[in-house]
Amino acid sequence: MSTTESDVFAPPGSEEEQARVFTVTGQDWDSIAAGLAGNDEDYEERVVVNMGPQHPSTHGVLRLILELEGETVTEARCGIGYLHTGIEKNMEYRTWVQGVTFCTRMDYLSPFYNEMTYCLGVERLLGITDDVPERAQVIRVMMLELNRISSHLVAIATGGMELGALTVMTCGFRERELVLDLFELITGLRMNHAYIRPGGVAQDLPANALDEIGSFIPLMRRRLTEYAALCNANPIFRARLDGVGHLDLEACLALGITGPVLRSTGLPWDLRKSEPVSGYETYDFDVQTWDTADSYGRFRIRLAEMHESLRIVEQAAARLAKLEGAPVMVADKKIAWPSQLAIGSDGMGNSLDHIRHIMGESMEALIHHFKLVTEGFRVPPGQAYVPVESPRGELGCHVVSDGGTRPARAHFRDPSFVNLQATGLMSEGGMVSDVIVAIASIDPVMGGVDR
């Protein structure tokens, strides 16, 4: 251990430059504290530590400023903005359809939810909410629930990795690859899909999609059972999670916390039940809750929610089998672009049949296509907010139109941003090592926080 009078990394003349800096190498904390106290009679056994911005258990870049007394956290603050992309501002300079390509990149672990809440808002402004075809609505629900599974798998896998449970990590990413294979089969891409569009979805399911989904469901059910056997009653795993990151119902309501963190307090609040969209009220599933208000309860909720999502996917697949050949985009050709797509070598592209039609058979179709691609459709003036229940909680998009071909404003209420408010309450009074567990139980995605 050595001490210096100033920090060479601090700006010249700054307050930081005048402060004393302690460089600690090894030793137990008691001996360090005793040594420091011996050098300064007024010394307080308290230090400030930066954890991050390269930080475990967050899907992105988060900085935590921790004030420690020994190894106990006395204060925890979040520093965000390291992954800022300016997506919301960029959307103001793109057409309504192009906006989907931007917002899908925010919370990149649940891209379909970003697309969904944005498109629902646009459809409400257009007045076409009831005109979206049933097949498109069912496809949306199915893709959302597959996305919930893939997102929860990452939450459990990365959380397990930070705890040292590497088997949980490898299994979680193994199963996520199966879901991403389905995404690639259906949309042509594994992430950043821009698949859900105003008026429906970009393209219909490929011929073998339902067969692949039918094979995935029983396999995933078996794997989830293995997770439960590995973790649920594992005394080491439980000891690391029980009582860590405690946040009661009153605190959740005061801070606007939603998702598994809220449901771990026992409150069955789920927008799929309370404010259903796309026919969610017609599906049979249960809202999962726990009563411990801690990290273990949130783990159990995510595990149980994946079972419920499989139930919904199974019901959606059965409905789609009966809706074979039905449209997947609104009939109004002044809005329905691009609805005729095929997966090509570049991931996605216009189908040859559609190109042949607009280039050689219908001048009107060519004009509509040209105007939609270059100018976009106009949306009546107004504003709308339609939230959805994402894997992390309430995700909503407030879209504002001035009557033009692009959004006047698109602002997202991202649950990761709101839920991070709980970092201090979850961490203060606990150990440094428990901060990682608390953050992992929130499951924040920094792309959604910074936008």
Task: Kindly list the distances between the CA atom of residue 220 and the CA atoms of 179, 237, 276, in Å, as whole numbers in the listed order.
Answer: 10, 22, 26
Calculate helix-pair angle for 134-163, 111-126, nearest 10 degrees.
150
Is 68 a residue whose pLDDT tops 50? yes
- Among 3-12, 21-30, 307-316, the range of highest mean pLDDT: 307-316
Residue 31 predicted with pLDDT over 70? no
* DSSP 8-state class, residue 188: S
Q: How far apart are CA 121 and CA 72, in angstroms?
A: 45
- Give pTM, 2 decimals: 0.84
Q: Residue 381's pLDDT band (boundaries 50, 70, 90)? A: very high
In this prediction, residue 44 carries a pLDDT of 58
Residue 37, pLDDT above cutoff 70 = no
Amino acid 212: pLDDT: 92
Instruction: Determine the pLDDT at residue 283.
Output: 92
Q: What is the mean pLDDT of residues 57-80?
A: 80
Residues 6+ apart with CB under 8 A from 294: 241, 242, 243, 244, 245, 246, 247, 264, 441
What 3-state DSSP class applies to 202? coil
User: By three-state DSSP, how is residue 235 classified?
Assistant: helix
- Comparing CA positions, the residue from 107, 121, 119 lying closest to residue 191 is 107
Condensed to tens digits (0 to 9), the pLDDT of residues 305-342 reads 999 999 999 999 999 999 888 888 888 877 876 555 55
Give me the pLDDT at residue 70, please.
79
Q: Is the pLDDT of residue 40 over 60?
A: no
Q: Per-residue confidence at 412, pLDDT binned at 50, 70, 90? A: very high
Determine the residue type at 37: A
pLDDT at 81 over 80: yes
pLDDT at residue 1, rounded to an integer: 40
What is the mean pLDDT of the segment spanning 259-282?
91
Is the pLDDT at 12 greater than 70? The verdict is no
What pLDDT sits at residue 170?
87
Is pLDDT at 346 greater than 80 in this prediction?
no
User: Could you state, in order of their start, the residue ranges of all structural domains in the chain?
Assistant: 87-337+376-450
pLDDT band at 119 (very low <50, low <70, confident <90, very high): very high
Residue 5 has pLDDT above 50, yes or no: no
Q: In percent, how much of the chain has pLDDT > 90?
A: 31
Does domain 87-337+376-450 bear CATH number 3.40.50.1370? no
The predicted pLDDT at position 168 comes to 83
Strand (E) or helix (H) holding 395:
strand 393-401
Residues 150-197 have pLDDT tens digits of 999 998 888 888 787 788 888 888 899 999 999 998 888 888 888 899
Given a cut of 90, whether residue 124 has pLDDT beyond it is yes
Place of tokens 């959302």: 144
